Structure 1
């Protein structure tokens, strides 16, 4: 299977300026994800999609390819990851280079356990899934069967649409949230505008490594956290 590792890294971060190349424990943030992709030996190409030469040069220094600069309209804070992936696919197909799947690896989730990428791709291939995402379990108190949403009259209803709430914690079905570490999808579904396909598989991340950097506080926590989890990376 030919898989494109796609690492999106635009320049215009508002929460943490220049976060993709900001130094985290001495390394540019993007370098963690590039290194993990290279060490997995799973990818036909490892490409960084960025809109600036500065990020492109740093990405190349750490071993990624940067065959194009992303158009300005795909570098705004409203641009979606799916359009970024579609742009990369189109770029390569115009050059007669084709992939079976794209693995989106976000630099803002920099901590992935050793061999985590390999495990994800192995499961994806063995299950013949349309897509696979990395997840973590939803804590019981936030389980959708125990949460509420407001109806048109301003009253609360159970978020799942059930009439009665599940009373015992032990009876709650296990639910998951996307942790942002891996999105792995067959190309034909990305072209249709989805990372999830019809048959969506998953892999559980190590909760000790969960980090998603969007704000200055997230960055501070990552700086404090990395010294505790380096042996897992």
Structure 2
């Protein structure tokens, strides 16, 4: 069966115009993600899903497959990633490809490297997972027992009890999806209309590797980290 990396890169980004081809550390966001997929050693095919001619041309130049164009109804602000993945899966099946899983690699994660993709796929297979999602550990000050809410003008513990009674070391470890930077989903899970099947397993990444480019400020930070050699 075929392990397929899917890189979704529509052309209509509004937060950062032309975001998927925006430069970060002297290379486009699309370039960083392409390198991670192609050098991972665990991906059989790497597919670019786009509606944009310039992105398609750039993808071809980087060594990506562009076997189809994403339809307009899947390229707008309201398009769901589930639908984009199902569209890719259907196109691959129509050409006779037996898909093991789709590995979603969004170009907005320039600090994802080949070893992250490789380790994620290895864990997905080792755990016989339906879905694998990359996560980042939530800082202890943001875990549920450390949170407060305002009630009648006063701060009260979000979960009840008393805030500050739990030592940092004793707080429950929590995780948040980091984009996700890597999302691996079996074909039958996508067929059922879901992204998260059972079992879903986590692949933990650090805070720098988890940086997701959503705003111009995110891009400037990532570019600075790249150029200063911090990451």
Structure 2 length as normaliser, TM-score? 0.90
Partner of 1:51: 51
Q: Give, in whole Å, the separation in 2 of the partners of 1:70 and 1:178.
A: 26
Once the two structures are superposed, residues 42-75 of structure 1 have per-residue CA deviations (whole angstroms, 9 ceiling, x without a partner) of 1121001000111001001001100011000000
Q: 1:164 aligns with which of 151, 155, 161?
A: 161
Partner of 1:105: 105
What runs of 5+ residues in structure 1 fail to find an aligned partner? Answer: none
Tell me if structure 2 keeps the 8 A contact 1:112–1:209. Answer: yes
Indicate how the Cα distance of structure 1 residues 130 and 225 shifts in structure 2: closer, same or farther if over 3 A, else same: same
Deviating beyond 4 angstroms after TM superposition, the runs of 4 or more aligned structure 1 residues are 148-151, 153-159
Q: Give, in whole Å, the separation in 2 of the partners of 1:149 and 1:109.
A: 32
Tell me if structure 1 keeps the 8 A contact 2:37–2:114. Answer: no
What does residue range 54-203 of structure 1 map to in structure 2 within 5 Å?
A: 54-148=54-148, 162-165=159-162, 167-168=165-166, 169-180=168-179, 181-203=181-203
Give the C-alpha shift of residue 28 in structure 1: 1.9
Query: How many residues end up aligned between the 2 structures?
Result: 228
Once the two structures are superposed, residues 73-126 of structure 1 have per-residue CA deviations (whole angstroms, 9 ceiling, x without a partner) of 000011011110000001111222120111000100111245111111111111
Q: Give, in whole Å, the separation in 2 of the partners of 1:229 and 1:182.
A: 23
Structure 1 length as normaliser, TM-score? 0.89
Higher deviation after alignment, 17-26 or 33-42? 17-26
Give the C-alpha shift of residue 148 in structure 1: 4.6
